[in-house]
Structure 1
Amino acid sequence: MLVSEIMLQQTPVVRVLPVWEDWLGRWPTPAHLAAEASGEAVRHWGRLGYPRRALRLHAAAAAIVERHNGQVPGTYTELLELPGVGSYTAAAVAAFAFGRRETVVDTNIRRVHARLFTGAALPSQSLTAAEMRLAAELLPADVELSVRWNASVMELGALLCTARAPKCAQCPVRHACSWLAAGEPAPSYTPKGQSWHGTDRQVRGAVMAVLRVADAPVAPEMFHQKPADLDFEPEGVGVPLAALHRLNSGPEQLERALAGLLADGLAELHLGGFQLPA
């Protein structure tokens, strides 16, 4: 479950599922993943985005082998000590994988709480201490019931109490909803989707696509020159390299992308070229 929780951060289930299945097929235990180079984790992360999560999963697997005899720990405190595991992920894994009473607060739960108990159309743009206090107060004292509560509220937010088109007529708690009672007031802000086209993130993703399929270090000029202008081409990179060049990124943006990947540990220099970490 630790793998799925990290993969699902800012990524929809439909994109995660095939990568998750492939990942567990390759590395069914933390020990299997820890035995591989971190670059292999990045390679098989595919196009899920935010590939630093792959490095964190690899580091967490190594820590689990070193500190917990290869078994994923089951308490919030132990999970929180793993590399790349934050408070939400630690609480979710402890609750849903190990049946512990933990306050789990994701975007869906926050939205249900906001509408049902405070009358707001949407929660605040960032998680507040008041929201955490409310979630803790609402959590049932019974351990088994608390796990079901977390899962139920999360599903209610994901399936019915959605951000843009809530299905209020189907909601089992609509008669107790403060937002409906207040006349469905409009949100105080308009949610904005993250931009993608033309951004440094898009270029970084395109560069990573090249590195994932390269069998040898990729020379810097490969990223800057059009394929037709090159005298050579590392085996297998033609398709992702062509996709990178179709973005028509300027040299400064490409340099930022390459420098950022090096700084984040997602790439390294070897024999004068770029490759996934060894």
Structure 2
Amino acid sequence: MPPRDVLDWFTRARRPLPWREPGIPGWHILISEIMLQQTPVARVLEPWQEWVRRWPVPSAMAAETTGEVVRAWGRLGYPRRAMRLHECAGVLAAEHGDVVPDDVDTLLALPGIGDYTARAVACFAYGRSVPVVDTNVRRVIARAVHGRAQAGNPAKRDLAEAAALLPDDGTAPTFSAAVMELGALVCTARNPRCEECPLLGSCRWVARGRPAHDGPPRRTQKFEGTDRQARGRLLDVLRSGRGPVERAHLDLAWTADPAQRDRALDSLLVDGLIEVNDDGLFCLAGEA
């Protein structure tokens, strides 16, 4: 994979995303990375801008209740991300001087920060030359380097393969962003636009005639009718109000399957996203 071809393409085609602007602090980039997990960029743009205005430093978020942060999360999905980010903000404020660390190991020790997020923040916020591997990067490597239509399941070798491609001339962070962008915009999972790809002349998958995937079929995640949807409906009731509610209000939010509703409610309590106060009313965490 010729790095210069990818970097030149990125210079022309990169999206003007606000968290890519010069001088964006690590805390703001951390917020963007948490929001972007399993969520399209278009849905993140407005919430991210609202969050960095409202909570410009970790201590500002830490001063809020968990419930208020979950309320502000809105419909971004997977609200435990908001809860863990709030917890992370507290640690950053108390132990790191309100500054996001710049090395992978320290980032990994923070609440809710996994391997991808730690590497992404170190790379994109602080210019560290570390491999950053998401679904898009894995797909580009699978096609351009290995000649496969799909990357298969994540594996430990993914980081080593991405690291081997990093240029050693100081452009590694930009290259990592460029490969990710290439997978998001051109080398897409469905209907890749190979004629627009800067790797067209060197891609092994194209050289092999773009063979179809011959491994296990890809799993597709449904949402309609799932426990995730039920959880979201219950949370919507609590997010839309400003105080505890009776169980009857929650029951009305999901009537199709009472057993599923009970299961969803129990899981929200176990996760710590909601609480029951002394009067037996339900509320967001920290608002009892």
TM-score normalised by structure 2 residue count: 0.86
Q: Is the 8 A contact 2:132 2:159 kept in 1?
A: no
Aligned-partner SS, 2:126: coil
Deviation, 1:21, is 1.4
Deviation, 1:212, is 0.5
Residue from 94, 97, 117 that aligns with 1:89: 117
Q: Percent identity?
A: 50
Deviation, 1:266, is 0.4
Within the alignment, does 1:214 sit opposite 2:241 as a pair? yes
Deviation, 1:99, is 0.7
Counterparts of 2:202 and 2:273, CA distance in 1: 49
Residue from 264, 272, 275 that aligns with 2:280: 272
Q: Is the 8 A contact 2:124 2:173 kept in 1?
A: yes
Q: Where do 4+ consecutive residues of structure 1 move more than 3 Å?
A: none
Counterparts of 1:24 and 1:129, CA distance in 2: 34
Aligned-partner SS, 2:276: strand
Equivalence for 1:12: 40
Within the alignment, does 1:164 sit opposite 2:190 as a pair? yes
Q: Deviations over 1:34-63 (max 9, x none)?
A: 111111110100000100000111011011
Q: Which runs of 5+ in 2 are unaligned?
A: 1-28
Equivalence for 1:153: 179
What is the RMSD computed on CA atoms of the aligned residues? 1.2
Matches within 5 A, 1:100-139: 100-124=128-152, 126-139=153-166
Deviation, 1:68, is 0.6
Q: Deviations over 1:224-275 (max 9, x none)?
A: 2x5xxxxxxxxxxxxxxxxx34xx3222111111100000010000121110
Equivalence for 2:19: none
- Equivalent residue letter for 1:252: A
- Equivalent residue letter for 2:126: F
Q: Is the 8 A contact 1:109 1:157 kept in 2?
A: yes
Counterparts of 1:190 and 1:211, CA distance in 2: 38
Q: Is the 8 A contact 1:203 1:249 kept in 2?
A: no
Deviation, 1:117, is 0.5
Q: Is the 8 A contact 2:237 2:249 kept in 1?
A: no
Deviation, 1:197, is 0.8
Aligned-partner SS, 1:11: coil
Q: Is the 8 A contact 1:121 1:179 kept in 2?
A: yes
TM-score normalised by structure 1 residue count: 0.89
Residue from 67, 74, 77 that aligns with 2:95: 67
- Equivalent residue letter for 1:251: P
Matches within 5 A, 1:34-49: 34-49=62-77
Counterparts of 2:139 and 2:166, CA distance in 1: 16
Counterparts of 1:131 and 1:274, CA distance in 2: 44
RCO comparison, higher one (Cα < 8 Å, 6+): 2
Q: Is the 8 A contact 1:60 1:82 kept in 2?
A: yes
Counterparts of 1:9 and 1:133, CA distance in 2: 22
